[in-house]
Amino acid sequence: MPAIICHVHADGREVQLRVRFSQRVAIPAAEWPEPPGRLLLLCPGLTAEFRYVATTLNFAVYYIGAADFDALLDLIRRLCAAEPCRLPCVLTAPQPPASPTPT
């Protein structure tokens, strides 16, 4: 299945995203040897949540909800005339909230 190849920033480096029309986003497994269960894509006017599904063929595969997927495709269509697309976005693995320390 074809994918739209994009690049975003993560931890000071450029990361490749393969946006698939099955509401999946694939990231080369080498980018995160231990794929986080959840990622956030922060773009101007868009925050999309990715949920880890599996690692297949050296790619960490993430599910993206329908509304976030549509918004991401709209952003790609508006900002990218050719592939690979470079989006003004940051990909981050949110940290779980710190547990309160007993007093």
* Residue 99 falls inside a structural domain: no
For tokens 């000071």, name the residue: 12
pLDDT value for 100: 64
* Residue 103 falls inside a structural domain: no
* Residue 98 falls inside a structural domain: no
Q: Could you read off the pLDDT of 14-64 as tens digits, one per residue?
A: 999 999 988 999 999 988 878 999 999 999 989 999 999 999 999 999 999
d(CA 28, CA 84): 15
* Residue 76 falls inside a structural domain: yes
* Residue 44 falls inside a structural domain: yes
Which domain does 57 fall in, by range? 3-92
d(CA 84, CA 7): 7
Q: Could you read off the pLDDT of 66-88 as tens digits, one per residue?
A: 999 999 999 999 988 887 889 99
* Residue 85 falls inside a structural domain: yes
pTM of this structure: 0.85
Q: What is the DSSP letter of 30?
A: G
Q: Is the pLDDT of residue 94 over 90?
A: no
* Residue 10 falls inside a structural domain: yes
* Residue 53 falls inside a structural domain: yes
Report strand pairing: 38-43 vs 13-20. Answer: unpaired
Q: Is the pLDDT of residue 101 over 90?
A: no
Q: Give how many domains the chain has, as a whole number.
A: 1
